[in-house]
Amino acid sequence: MRQYSKLFLGESGIVSADVSFKVVQERRYFVSSEGASIVQNFTGAYIYVIASIRATDGEVIPLHRSYYAPALTGLPGDATIENDIKEMIVTLQRLKTAPTADPYTGPALLDGPVAGVFFHEIFGHRVEGYR
């Protein structure tokens, strides 16, 4: 993680950068009233890379990249992650001077599952009831 973090040193305009590593081992139990019981084990390995840069207008612009594998051996190698971080730095430097996008008002075409998620986010949360 230190090796990856060092790639952000000396980059102008970078406000913050963080590289973290997490291994999760979880055991879930299911027991029904009919007497059935199930135990499931889940493992996962995660690497998170998060960095922010301050744009010329003062706004802080974040980017992140994450990696997941069910086991440590499934995570990408050092060369892949380092190249991704270098690409992230290039993108952040470009975003530093990029013009602000204009707001958009108009039609949007949403396909399949995206339409359901969109509808849920704009309408569903407003009609949810809590006990």
* Type and span of the H or E element at 54: strand 37-54
Beta bridge partners of residue 54, listed in sequence order? 60
Q: What's the pTM?
A: 0.72
Q: Which pLDDT value is given to residue 74?
A: 95
In CATH, the number for domain 2-101 is 3.30.2290.10
Q: What is the pLDDT along the chain (131 residues), one digit of tens a residue?
A: 999 999 999 888 899 999 999 999 999 999 999 999 999 999 999 999 999 999 988 899 999 999 999 999 999 999 999 999 999 999 999 999 999 889 989 898 888 888 888 888 888 888 877 66
Strand, coil or helix: 90: helix
Query: Looking at 55-129, which runs of residues are DSSP E strands?
Result: 60-69
- Exposed (0-12), middle (13-18) or buried (19+): which is 116, by Cβ within 10 Å? exposed
Each domain of the chain, given as residue ranges in start order, spans 2-101
Collect all residues with Cβ–Cβ distance below 8 Å to 109 and sequence separation of at least 6: none
Half-sphere exposure of 104 (CA within 13 A, CB side): 5
